[in-house]
C-alpha cells in the first residue's frame, strides 16, 4: 500500500476529493415498451438483470437478445457506464453495480429492471476503478439507504444522486486497480484449485468407499 500512499501524498496532499453521483453523471433507464415477443430471436445484445447483479464488469459475450427496430428511442450502454440493479426483495441486494469496461461498436441495451449512470466526463473515473469503488463497503451502505419498499424494495434515483464516492487522481486509480486486479486473479486461481481438489477428493472418496469386488485377473 506504500506506493498508493505515496501517490496520494504527491497528487492530493489535501486528501482525496469526494463527489456526488449527481455531480459526475446522469442516470438513464433501461428498455421501454417491450413485450415478451421482443426477446425471442432478437437482433441486438441485451444486458440482463443477472448480468449486472453477478459481475463486476459486464459480460458482453452474453447470448441474451432483444428486438430493437430502426428509429426506436432507446438508451444504449456506453463505455465506462455504471449500471445498477433497480430493485430486489431486500434493501441489501438493491443497487448492485456492474461496469462496461470494454470498448464495443455493437449497441448494448439494458433491461428495464436496471438503470445506468453515464459520466459527463469519462476522464474522471477509470472503468476498472468504477467496478471496484461502487461495490466497496462504504458506497454500498449509501446505496442500500436509497432503497425503500415493503415486500419489494426499489432504489430511488433522486437519492442516488446524493451518494458520494472518492475520486482520486487517475494515477492513484490505476495503482488501486492494478492491486485489486491482482487479488481478483489470485482469488480466481485459488477457487479453481479448490474446485479441482474437491473433485479429486470426491473421486477418491467414492472409489475408496465403493468396496466393489475386484475380479481376479
What are the boundaries of each domain within the chain? 1-15+168-210, 18-167
- Between 13-22, 140-149, 161-170, the lowest mean confidence (pLDDT) is in 13-22
* Secondary structure letter of residue 73 according to DSSP: -
Average pLDDT value over all residues in the chain: 90
Distance separating alpha carbons of residues 132 and 134, to the nearest angstrom: 6
- Between 29-33, 85-89, 151-155, 209-213, the lowest mean confidence (pLDDT) is in 209-213
Tell me the fold of 18-167.
Answer: Adenine-n6-DNA-methyltransferase TaqI; Chain A, domain 2 (3.90.220)
Question: With 60 as the cut, is the pLDDT of residue 18 above it?
Answer: yes
Mean pLDDT over residues 49-75, rounded?
95
pLDDT tens per residue, range 71-102: 899 999 999 999 999 999 999 999 999 999 99
Neighbours of 197 (CB within 10 A): 10
Question: With 60 as the cut, is the pLDDT of residue 213 above it?
Answer: no
pLDDT tens per residue, range 132-142: 999 999 999 99
Q: Which residues pair with 99 in a beta bridge?
A: 57, 82
pLDDT of residue 209: 61
Under the banding of pLDDT at 50, 70 and 90, the label for residue 212 is low
Place of cell 453523471: 25
Task: Return phi, psi of residue 175, to 5°.
Answer: -65, -40
pLDDT of residue 125: 97
**Grid coordinates given for 100:** 462496461
Question: With 70 as the cut, is the pLDDT of residue 107 above it?
Answer: yes
Amino acid at each position: 500500500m506504500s506506493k498508493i500512499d505515496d501517490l496520494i501524498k504527491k497528487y492530493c496532499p489535501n486528501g482525496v476529493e469526494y463527489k456526488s453521483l449527481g455531480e459526475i453523471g446522469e442516470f438513464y433507464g433501461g428498455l421501454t415498451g417491450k413485450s415478451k415477443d421482443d426477446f425471442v430471436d432478437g437482433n441486438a445484445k441485451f444486458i440482463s438483470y443477472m448480468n449486472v447483479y453477478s459481475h463486476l464488469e459486464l459480460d458482453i459475450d452474453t447470448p441474451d437478445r432483444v428486438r430493437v427496430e430502426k428509429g426506436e428511442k432507446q438508451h444504449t450502454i456506453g463505455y465506462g457506464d455504471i449500471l445498477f440493479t433497480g430493485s430486489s426483495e431486500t434493501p441489501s441486494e438493491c443497487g448492485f453495480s456492474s461496469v462496461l469496461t470494454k470498448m464495443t461498436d455493437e449497441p448494448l441495451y439494458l433491461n428495464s429492471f436496471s438503470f445506468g449512470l453515464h459520466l459527463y466526463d469519462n476522464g474522471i473515473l477509470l472503468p476498472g476503478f468504477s467496478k471496484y469503488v461502487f461495490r466497496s463497503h462504504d458506497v454500498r451502505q449509501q446505496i442500500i439507504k436509497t432503497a425503500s419498499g415493503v415486500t419489494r424494495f426499489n432504489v430511488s434515483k433522486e437519492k442516488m444522486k446524493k451518494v458520494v464516492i472518492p475520486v482520486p487522481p487517475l494515477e492513484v486509480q490505476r495503482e488501486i486497480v492494478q492491486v485489486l486486479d491482482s487479488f481478483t486473479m489470485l482469488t480466481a486461481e485459488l477457487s479453481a484449485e479448490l474446485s479441482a481438489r474437491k473433485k479429486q477428493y470426491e473421486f477418491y472418496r467414492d472409489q475408496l468407499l465403493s468396496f466393489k469386488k475386484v475380479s481376479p485377473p
